[in-house]
Homo-oligomer: A and B are copies of this chain.
Amino acid sequence: MKSYRKELWFNVPSRRAFINITPQVEACVRESGVKEGLVLVNAMHITASVFINDDEPGLHQDFERWLEKLAPHEPVSQYRHNDTGEDNADAHLKRQVMGREVVVAITNGKLDFGPWEQIFYGEFDGRRPKRVLVKIIGE
């Protein structure tokens, strides 16, 4: 069994953003030399997500508006977590809707994807360096 590990770093200038990280994950799969296996891609921070959906800017606006409706940032005083001096309680909630991680099959040395699947880093509390972990096991 082979294993491979890499950290991807992001420093998003805004509070929230969606970034397509499929090319970086594909590069990891190639570098790993794994032909058949699984790749785990997870946010290492608890106010960010890794998820799979469509690379379409209109949809990303819909996600942004929808997540703000489900778990609004303002007023920050509505959240007990923010009593600690933070203002990011909403980011912890949004990340639960979008998920922490994805597990993707590797087949014949490639991400085994349907026609529109793309991997995104979802940032909900940016403006500082944060990491995504890529871990691959297989043969």
Contacts and interface: CB of A to CB of B under 8 A. Distances in A.
A61 B78 CA distance: 11
A38 B5 CA distance: 12
A133 B116 contact: no
B137 A138 contact: yes
A19 interface: no
Nearest to A80: B58
A80 B103 contact: no
B53 A96 contact: yes
A93 interface: yes
Nearest to A84: B58
A116 B42 CA distance: 14
Interface string A30-66: 0000001110101111100001111011110111001
A62 B79 CA distance: 6
